[in-house]
Amino acid sequence: MRFLLVTALGLVLLSLASVFSQMFGMMLTRVDVVVALVVFLGLRANTSEGALGAFALGYMLDVFTGRPTGLFPFLAVLTFLLVRLAAGLVDARSRATYALFVSGATLANALLATFFNWLTSSKEDSPVAISLAGLPMQVVLTTAAAALLWPLLRRFDPANDRPEAGVLL
Amino acid sequence: MFSLLTRFRELLLVAALLAYPFFTYLSFGHKGRAPNAVDRLILALAWPIQKSLTWAVESTSGTFNGYVALRGSHQEAAECRAELSRSKAEINALEQARLENERLRNLLAYTETTVEHDIMARVVGVNASSNFLSMRLDRGEDDGVKVGMPVVTADGVVGQIVRSVGSSSDVMLLSDASSRIGVVVQRTGSRATVAGGGGRGTLSLDNALRGDELTDGDVIVTSGVDGIFPRGIVVGKVEQVQRQPSSLFLQAAVRPAVNLRSLQEVLVIPVPVVTGPQALAAPPGGLR
């Protein structure tokens, strides 16, 4: 149920982010709503449900890019696993900790995307410096969006049934 | 065996969810893939949200701007009438040139037929990743939009359709890092290639010979040799021309004629069918 809710929310948020990015003339900066949701799954969902949810969210992001390659489902599942591991070290029950997790995940996700993009394309087709130029603003905007989303996301988890932290299996 | 599968089912599931997209990415890499049934479903679900949100925002801002604009409307109307008269005169002159061009083309045994009229589309969003610069339009294959069709505005080139499904399509912007367009310098007729800057404000001019007579402010238009864009559509203006003695080619930037950040409406041009000597001479694909 939570998987379906988060996936549906992901579709709505991706549509909103797409329209607002165009409206505000953003070329290099995006609000990475998928990362915010994947981090939530990493902190609150169990492994199977969270990995499936992360895959579904990454798949939708891939479709939304206009040129789906499979990179974003992979990165979403990887981010989910990294968050699950990190959640074993930090107790992330508050809005502030969640936002902190999201900023770290956004940074890692964008760096990995740029790296893989650079790895698989010709030199002139992957201007790394330009790709990273919008990253600081992307981290700030995504963190702010995550902080705003926190009350809504908590509704998906009314019992606060946080699984045993950091356990993959 | 079955008990092992049951025992490690979570691990296997996670491994599969990681491995499948990763190997898909490594296999198909940068090319992307054609939309499948799931992609179409996702886009069909997202389209009404994007369309209605765009409509709501534009209606609100349109109402506000309309009210504000009323104050200067009389003066603006007079200016528009004068501009219209000038435009009509220019259209007449261009019509003469077109007829002459047609006669000359017939003499050279060129034939070029436009399949349909241009398709007007509204921009309803940008894509969700800054690694690939594209925009979503509210017209798709149901409206006759096909992959490969060029997209323009009255100011110049916007890009090329890279995906078309149902009621929406995606256009790769000319500023995307993998975009290439065959161009000529309007003043001199020198040929070159314009490459996307990947989000920089400017594009780069490639393959222009160092000896070419090129200066800042020269207008760059499409050459038509890529078989994608019709000839003569404005791409932008040349800036920062640099000639280095050690290089065969000069370096220059191109400022796009179209402001890609504030696009609202665009025209999708049905691909012209070109036959004759030019079609045989055309190099494959202007946009990679």
Q: Once rounded to an integer, what is the mean pLDDT over residues B181-195?
A: 88
Q: Once rounded to an integer, what is the mean pLDDT over residues A109-126?
A: 78
Q: Do B30 and A29 touch (CB under 8 A)?
A: no
Only one residue has tokens 């995006």, namely A30
pLDDT digits (tens, 9 = 90+) for B148-187: 899 998 888 999 999 898 889 999 999 888 888 999 988 8
B7 CB within 8 Å of a chain A CB:
no
A34 CB within 8 Å of a chain B CB:
yes
B22 CB within 8 Å of a chain A CB:
yes
Query: Is the pLDDT score of B252 beyond 80?
Result: yes
- All residues of chain B having their beta carbon less than 8 Å from the beta carbon of residue A55 are 17, 21
A56 half-sphere exposure, CB direction, 13 A CA radius: 19
Question: Positive or negative, the Cα torsion across B133, B138, B144, B150?
Answer: negative
Interface of B with A in 147-206 (CB under 8 A): 162-163, 170, 172, 175, 177-178, 195, 197-200
pLDDT at B201: 72
Question: Positive or negative, the Cα torsion across A21, A24, A25, A31?
Answer: negative
The average confidence (pLDDT) of chain A is: 83
Only one residue has tokens 């891939």, namely A62
Q: Once rounded to an integer, what is the mean pLDDT over residues A81-95?
A: 84
User: For position A32, which CATH number holds?
Assistant: 1.10.1760
B262 CB within 8 Å of a chain A CB:
yes
Interface of A with B in 84-123 (CB under 8 A): 113-114, 116-117, 120-121
- All residues of chain B having their beta carbon less than 8 Å from the beta carbon of residue A81 are 14, 18
Structural domain range at position A38: 2-156
Tell me how crowded residue B214 is: count the other CB atoms within 10 A of its CB.
Answer: 21
Calpha distance B156→B240 (Å, rounded): 21
Q: Do A58 and B57 touch (CB under 8 A)?
A: no
B136 CB within 8 Å of a chain A CB:
yes
Q: CA-based angle B162:A9:B29, to the nearest 5?
A: 35
pLDDT at B199: 67
- All residues of chain A having their beta carbon less than 8 Å from the beta carbon of residue B264 are none
Strands B157-165 and B150-152: antiparallel
Q: How many CB pairs under 8 A join A and B?
A: 190
What three-state secondary structure class fits B8? coil
Q: Once rounded to an integer, what is the mean pLDDT over residues B55-74?
A: 74
Only one residue has tokens 């549509």, namely A15
**A164 part of a folded domain:** no
pLDDT-derived band at A163, boundaries 50, 70, 90: low
Each residue of B127-156: b (16+ CB within 10 Å) or e?
bbbbbbbbbbbbbbbebebeeebbbbbeeb
pLDDT at A52: 93
Q: CA-based angle B70:B72:B76, to the nearest 5?
A: 110
Number of folded domains in chain A? 1
Q: B211 with B233: CB under 8 angstroms?
A: no
Q: Do B125 and A131 touch (CB under 8 A)?
A: no
pLDDT at B284: 37
| Predicted structure pTM score | 0.77
Query: Is the pLDDT score of B285 beyond 60?
Result: no
Q: A102 with A142: CB under 8 angstroms?
A: yes
- Lowest-pLDDT choice from A22-36, A115-129, B54-68: A115-129
Q: Do B39 and A68 touch (CB under 8 A)?
A: yes
B34 CB within 8 Å of a chain A CB:
no
Count H helices and E strands in chain B, helices first: 5, 14
Q: What is the DSSP string of B38-64?
A: HHHHHHHHHHHHHHHHHHHHHHHHHHH
Q: Do A120 and B25 touch (CB under 8 A)?
A: yes
pLDDT digits (tens, 9 = 90+) for B229-250: 888 889 999 988 888 877 788 8
Question: Positive or negative, the Cα torsion across B15, B16, B19, B25?
Answer: negative
Kindly state the tokens that stand for B2. 């079955």
**A72 part of a folded domain:** yes
A18 CB within 8 Å of a chain B CB:
yes
B57 to chain A, minimum CA–CA distance in Å? 9
- All residues of chain B having their beta carbon less than 8 Å from the beta carbon of residue A68 are 32-33, 35, 39
Calpha distance B263→B269 (Å, rounded): 17
**A147 part of a folded domain:** yes
- Lowest-pLDDT choice from A4-8, A58-62, B2-6, B193-197: B2-6
A9 CB within 8 Å of a chain B CB:
no
pLDDT digits (tens, 9 = 90+) for B73-131: 777 888 888 888 778 878 877 877 887 787 777 666 554 544 557 889 989 888 877 77
pLDDT at A81: 93
Instruction: Spell out the residues 6+ positions from residue B36 whose beta carbon is closer than 8 angstroms to its own.
Output: none
Calpha distance A33→B128 (Å, rounded): 9
Q: B180 with B193: CB under 8 angstroms?
A: yes
Only one residue has tokens 């886009």, namely B43
Tell me how crowded residue A91 is: count the other CB atoms within 10 A of its CB.
Answer: 11
- Lowest-pLDDT choice from A158-162, B23-27, B96-100: A158-162
Strand ranges for chain A from DSSP E: none
